[in-house]
Structure 1
Amino acid sequence: MALIEGSSFRQPRRTQLDQAVAACRSTAWVLALFGLASNVLMLAPPLYMLQVYDRVMVSGAIETLIMLTAMTAGALLVFGLLDATRSAITARLGSWLMAQLGPVYLANSVRARLAGDGGGAQPLRDLQSVQTFITSPGFNVFFDGPWVPIFLILGWLLHPWLGVLAIASAVLLFSLGVANEYVTRKPTIASSLSQIAATKHAEATIRNAEVVRAMGMLPAMIALWQSSNEVALSAQQRAAERGALLLGITKFVRYFVQSASLGIGAYLVLQGSLSSGGMIASSILLGRALAPVEGAMGAWRSFSMARIAYRRLQAQLRAMPEEPVRTRLPAPEGVLTLRNVSFAAPGSRVPILRSVSFEAVPGEVLAVIGPSAGGKSTLCRLLVGIAEPSSGEVRLDGSELRHWNAEELGQHIGYLPQDVELFSGTIRDNIARMSEAEDEAVVEAAMLAHAHELIQRLPQGYDTVIGEGGIRLSGGQRQRIGLARAVYRIPRIIVLDEPNANLDTSGEAALSAAIDEMKRHHCTLLIVGHRPSTIALADRILLMKEGRVELIGPRDEVLKRLRKASSDKAQPQDADAARSA
């Protein structure tokens, strides 16, 4: 067994999708039992016709006719109730899968995005596609199909010729189904991939609406979307046309066989080999036998789309496995240590950071300066745990960041990125990081960030709704509310990437006061920026160039060296920062 597990033939690791599907097995057995009961009850119409034509019509017994009619009505009523219940079960099954796997794929998509995958919310759309198919009538074909041979055998028992006709028609319809899969598979896959690309173009266009409109980019973006969408529509049209042709042939075969069964049955009645009731019953049995086959043909397209979506969902989880649950670590003091840290973007061999080493301690403000593309924002991403170094170590109180559970680590980190994104909801929700919180904690964070007065000037104060259906905030307002979110519950590590990029004079003063306040709370602060107000608050300065630590040391010492080298060696922005400070 160990040899097999260690070989190249080892089975792929079970994903959360595999586990969810395995949990549905008991429901599948229930649906199978419902399928058995429904198909047994569907024998009532042919048996009714057989008895009416062969017994009631001969004997003229009205009582028998009434009894048979009542029994058949009861059977069909139960059949209807079972079918309705089965549909309700599949609807609940689809909802359960979405409830179980939706959070998994949302978290997976976030991790994939951080790793450089631009798939966005496509996994959630794929999961919706699977759910839609499960709740559709086409899903029941899987539970009705196994009973097709039973109806074929019953037809054979009425007369071998009718059995031969039924089997031949079933084989023909099945062959048409296989042909449908063969001719529509490639265009269906091509349509799906192109539609995903078109959706990405549309989402990017809408997300950057201001830039698109201001710089006249809308025609170009529409052209990009149309290019991908036309490929999708063309492939979709090919699949639909081919499928429609085969579906038309299927309907012809289906209806012709139904008529042919009556013709053969009539011939056998004339020959005395079959009763009139048997002729009608055989036609009903044949129709019931071929119904799942025809239903499969009609649902084939949605099944193909769901199958493609399922494969993408499985591949997504295997490419981006679930993060392990780690031992809960004690709350950190806030000592950050980097040892020979290098980082290269996924798929790139060119490092962004090269052998970066330094330490930041509680109660200290470390200002990071340097030219553009020097690796400052990448360093921030490493310090807050949203990226892992290609080599080297990032440690918090001696423990590597990857040893923390992400949610627990996030409670001790405040992060303000360059581009501040707020979520649809209230100001209060955003400051509280979209979680339940006491009013006191939210107001305290706003006051620490010196954003309380700004918030009170909004229409509904902390309860002002932003995002869709709410007000639009300026860049400076977003930055100050983002700062309040960063200092919520006074985290031990605070990383601010260009926090004053959109601030006016009063905003910079508020930022300086907030930094000074967090310093008194013995937080470890790392701030990226070149403005004098930022550097003036720093205890130490770290100068980065081309992904390396060029200088690091006490503020006055580094500034002195920068002033000395400003005439011929330092970058203009470093010299300006040094002179201003």
Structure 2
Amino acid sequence: MEIYNISKDLLHKALYQKGIRIPKQLFDEEYDKLQEENLPPLKSLGLLCNNLNLRGTRLSMIRWDRLDRRVLPAPIFFNNQWWMADNSDEEEKIKIINEDEEEQEVTSEQLFGNCYVLWIKHPKISMYKNNIGNKKISKIILKEIFKSKSWLTNCIIASVIINTLVIFTSLFSMQVYDRVVPTLAFSTLTTLSFGMLIAIAISFVLKVLRSRIIESLAAEVDDTVSLKIFDHLLKLKMGVDNFSLGLLHAQVSSYENIRRFFSGNVIFSIVDLPFAFLFIAFIYLVGHDMGIVYTIFFGISLIVGLFSYFLSKDVVRKQITQSNEREGLLVDSIRGLETIRTNNANWRFLFKWKGINSSVSKYSYKQRDVGQLCSSIISGLGTMAYVSAIIVGVIQIANGDLTTGGIVASTIVGSRIINPVAQLANTLVRWQGVSQSIALVDGLLNKETERKYEQDLLLLEKSVTKIALANAKFFYPESPTYSFYTPELEFNSGDRVLILGSIGGGKSTLLKMLAGIYRPNEGMVKINDIDLWEVDPIQLSTEICYLSQDSQLFKGTLRDNLSLSGMVAPDYVSKIANELGINQFAYKSPYGFDMPVQEGGQGLSGGQKQLVALNRVISSNPSVWLLDEPTTSMDKLTQERVLATLKSYVKPSDILIVSSHNDTLLDGYINRVINIGDGNIISDSSLRKPVTRINKNIKLKLA
């Protein structure tokens, strides 16, 4: 497909949307100069960026079917013209606008095979707008909460009015007892009552509005931060840590506890607690010595709250630790349920569960006991404060220093002093659990990602024609010996490679390093003579596709699992599925390709899951094919059909690397055979000579 130059107005708009601000007149002048030279589109745009001093800006054309839609908006070349494409409100739709500002919506199916995206990458722009690595989750949440101060201003104004109306309520009582009751002035009572009705209505409306503001803020913060945490999880570096699924699940789940705390308790504490001091000042003004009573009990309540905080500290820590262990046991048990049953290990796991659950229940009971004790004490202090204030008030009445209305007004406001303290005490107790949750989420955020957030990634100028390893050595965590090492290994366009070797010899490790899943501890992997780990992973995924031995399916439908990206035309996916024979078991279900698939592909055989995974690889149309035991768990007839389909889709210029235990796999199609054993290359048929084998006994990991 011939791609024509993008118009200057559309390109200027695209740069502007990426945050690259260039004066329109200067941009037009430089654009027009280059148009006169009649250069290829990408070369012309590259020179334009250089002339405009856009250092570090890189441009690349990406097929629509391999695009990560998070890069939108971006210019696309579709139906022989340029458009600006952006995500629509509907997941399956794409909104496109041409140079004449004509807008329409299309589907990914319409764009498949007939659309290219101009990817504009600038070093100052984070594509994912997500840089939370090595940061504290508490700071991240607080930053999002206070990103806009308008909500805080509105909440403070509403709280001031609401709490001021409480004072009006006490003044109403004071006026009724001191003026209305002695004189039976019903006209005054009517006027005061009408005013109180208005005050009650205003208070109700403001409370509802304040609650909605805070709930809206909490939802907005949750949408932003949870997306960043999940995105960080997806970018974790593989092969450098012993991941515990139970721990990872606990770390991600702990965020919800943190979010509720910061968006709820902290906000109300900030807004409501200071008014306790305002109420004490009011009581001093109206009730005189009664203010001393509430000041004393206010201080005692604070001490009780702090005492409960320190009392529950160790209990909460132990409870959360045991809860995480229980969660890990639950995840492991669900994943290995068949193994547990077939090995008659139910009793062992039940015994473990009983022990851990007993510990959780014990510490949970202790925590509730501390919280209940604290609440009871503070509630009792509130009652004692009320009784003591009445006694002091009566003494002042006897001395002629206070009226009955003054006592009533002071006690009404006094009831609002102890409540914030009780709320603060509860917040302090909850903080113990939240602090443990913070430590868990911080542990997740501190895990190393495959690439640094601040890393300036490169874009390939052409498809991958060469992939090589140089002095590449990989260790699994805490292993004293390496899993794979090679001083030099290179694959070029047109290679059809079969990798043979014993179990644990390093075949899978090699493929994972080539795919960019595992990063070598020493040496490097290069594609087109560029360090693979310096290339943007989105573009990398358009060029390299990897098939694992353990094919993973996800909950949804069979159709969803055939193309996880959702960017490939359904007709194309179905065509490949029919050629692989997936339709044979799909149509046994009344739902066909919409048959439900459970977590992990339960209900499908190993061979069926492998066919689905192969469908994903073939529909990706990569330049480098990395297949780890592609025909595992398949019968002979299915193997033959799969291999025939594979050959028909691999392009002559592609690189195909297949690992297998079967040395006759793809016989007659393979032009190179590599034997691997004990993490070393034993022989490489392309070199026509065996490679010197390194003694396993000296493969020690050096610090």
TM over 0.5: yes
Q: C-alpha separation between the residues in 2 aligned to 1:470 and 1:502?
A: 15
SS at 1:526 equivalent: strand
SS at 2:489 equivalent: strand
Which string of whole-angstrom CA distances, capped at 9 and with x for unpartnered residues, describes residues 320-374 of structure 1? 4663463443452242111110111234443222235311223322122212222
Q: 2:615 aligns with which of 484, 496, 503?
A: 484
Q: 1:333 aligns with which of 433, 443, 464?
A: 464
Q: In the alignment, which residue of structure 1 is the partner of 2:278?
A: 150
The 3 A distance-change label for structure 1 pair 471 and 530 is closer
Q: Is the 8 A contact 2:250 2:327 kept in 1?
A: no
Offset, 1:136: 5.1
SS at 2:620 equivalent: coil
Offset, 1:247: 2.4
Q: Is the 8 A contact 2:505 2:676 kept in 1?
A: yes
Q: 1:524 aligns with which of 643, 651, 655?
A: 655
Offset, 1:390: 0.5
Q: Is the 8 A contact 1:335 1:361 kept in 2?
A: yes
The reply to whether residue 420 of structure 1 matches residue 544 of structure 2 is no
The reply to whether residue 242 of structure 1 matches residue 333 of structure 2 is no
The 3 A distance-change label for structure 1 pair 539 and 242 is same
Q: In the alignment, which residue of structure 2 is the partner of 1:313?
A: 441
Offset, 1:78: 1.5
Q: Is the 8 A contact 1:445 1:484 kept in 2?
A: yes
Offset, 1:470: 9.1
The 3 A distance-change label for structure 1 pair 350 and 83 is farther
Offset, 1:281: 0.9
The 3 A distance-change label for structure 1 pair 352 and 311 is same
The reply to whether residue 506 of structure 1 matches residue 627 of structure 2 is no
Q: In the alignment, which residue of structure 2 is the partner of 1:196?
A: 324
The 3 A distance-change label for structure 1 pair 143 and 347 is farther
The reply to whether residue 21 of structure 1 matches residue 142 of structure 2 is yes
Structure 2 letter corresponding to 1:108: H
Structure 1 letter corresponding to 2:644: A
The reply to whether residue 126 of structure 1 matches residue 254 of structure 2 is yes
Structure 2 letter corresponding to 1:269: I
SS at 2:603 equivalent: coil
Q: In the alignment, which residue of structure 1 is the partner of 2:595?
A: 464
Q: Is the 8 A contact 1:364 1:519 kept in 2?
A: no
Q: 2:513 aligns with which of 367, 372, 382?
A: 382
Sequence identity (%): 20
Q: In the alignment, which residue of structure 2 is the partner of 1:271?
A: 399
Offset, 1:304: 3.1
5+ residue gaps, structure 1, are 1-11, 563-581
Q: In the alignment, which residue of structure 2 is the partner of 1:97?
A: 221
Structure 2 letter corresponding to 1:474: S
Q: C-alpha separation between the residues in 2 aligned to 1:92 and 1:419?
A: 42
Offset, 1:176: 0.6
The reply to whether residue 176 of structure 1 matches residue 304 of structure 2 is yes
The 3 A distance-change label for structure 1 pair 473 and 384 is same
Choose 253-262 or 243-252, whichever is displaced more. Answer: 243-252
Q: C-alpha separation between the residues in 2 aligned to 1:440 and 1:176?
A: 68
Q: C-alpha separation between the residues in 1 aligned to 2:237 and 2:356?
A: 22
Q: C-alpha separation between the residues in 2 aligned to 1:255 and 1:469?
A: 58
Structure 2 letter corresponding to 1:341: A
Offset, 1:546: 1.6
Which string of whole-angstrom CA distances, capped at 9 and with x for unpartnered residues, describes residues 503-560 of structure 1? 11112112321332243453212211111442624321111122111111249x68xx
Q: In the alignment, which residue of structure 2 is the partner of 1:69?
A: 193
Q: 2:233 aligns with which of 100, 109, 134?
A: 109
Offset, 1:14: 5.3
The 3 A distance-change label for structure 1 pair 375 and 31 is farther
The reply to whether residue 351 of structure 1 matches residue 487 of structure 2 is no
Q: C-alpha separation between the residues in 1 aligned to 2:206 and 2:438?
A: 28
Which string of whole-angstrom CA distances, capped at 9 and with x for unpartnered residues, describes residues 277-329 of structure 1? 11011111211122111122234443432343234323432344663463443
Q: C-alpha separation between the residues in 2 aligned to 1:243 and 1:182?
A: 12
Choose 295-304 or 378-387, whichever is displaced more. Answer: 295-304
Q: In the alignment, which residue of structure 2 is the partner of 1:539?
A: 671
Q: 1:41 aligns with which of 149, 157, 165?
A: 165
Q: Is the 8 A contact 1:329 1:404 kept in 2?
A: yes
The 3 A distance-change label for structure 1 pair 112 and 361 is same
Q: C-alpha separation between the residues in 2 aligned to 1:442 and 1:161?
A: 82
Q: C-alpha separation between the residues in 2 aligned to 1:393 and 1:424?
A: 36
The reply to whether residue 395 of structure 1 matches residue 516 of structure 2 is no
Q: Is the 8 A contact 1:368 1:528 kept in 2?
A: yes
The 3 A distance-change label for structure 1 pair 363 and 455 is farther
Q: Is the 8 A contact 1:374 1:547 kept in 2?
A: yes
Q: Is the 8 A contact 1:357 1:549 kept in 2?
A: no
Q: Is the 8 A contact 1:198 1:225 kept in 2?
A: yes
Q: In the alignment, which residue of structure 1 is the partner of 2:334?
A: 206
Q: C-alpha separation between the residues in 1 aligned to 2:264 and 2:183?
A: 45
The 3 A distance-change label for structure 1 pair 464 and 22 is same
The 3 A distance-change label for structure 1 pair 209 and 446 is same
The 3 A distance-change label for structure 1 pair 473 and 315 is closer
Choose 247-256 or 319-328, whichever is displaced more. Answer: 319-328
The 3 A distance-change label for structure 1 pair 451 and 359 is farther
The 3 A distance-change label for structure 1 pair 452 and 13 is closer
The 3 A distance-change label for structure 1 pair 317 and 468 is closer
Q: C-alpha separation between the residues in 1 aligned to 2:599 and 2:453?
A: 32
Q: In the alignment, which residue of structure 2 is the partner of 1:578?
A: none
Which string of whole-angstrom CA distances, capped at 9 and with x for unpartnered residues, describes residues 476-514 of structure 1? 111111111122231112211122221111121123213
Q: In the alignment, which residue of structure 2 is the partner of 1:496?
A: 627
Q: C-alpha separation between the residues in 2 aligned to 1:165 and 1:125?
A: 45
Q: Is the 8 A contact 1:431 1:484 kept in 2?
A: yes
Q: C-alpha separation between the residues in 2 aligned to 1:391 and 1:191?
A: 41
Q: Is the 8 A contact 2:526 2:532 kept in 1?
A: yes
Q: Is the 8 A contact 1:416 1:483 kept in 2?
A: yes
The 3 A distance-change label for structure 1 pair 396 and 171 is same
Which string of whole-angstrom CA distances, capped at 9 and with x for unpartnered residues, describes residues 227-249 of structure 1? 33332222222222223223222
The 3 A distance-change label for structure 1 pair 470 and 337 is closer
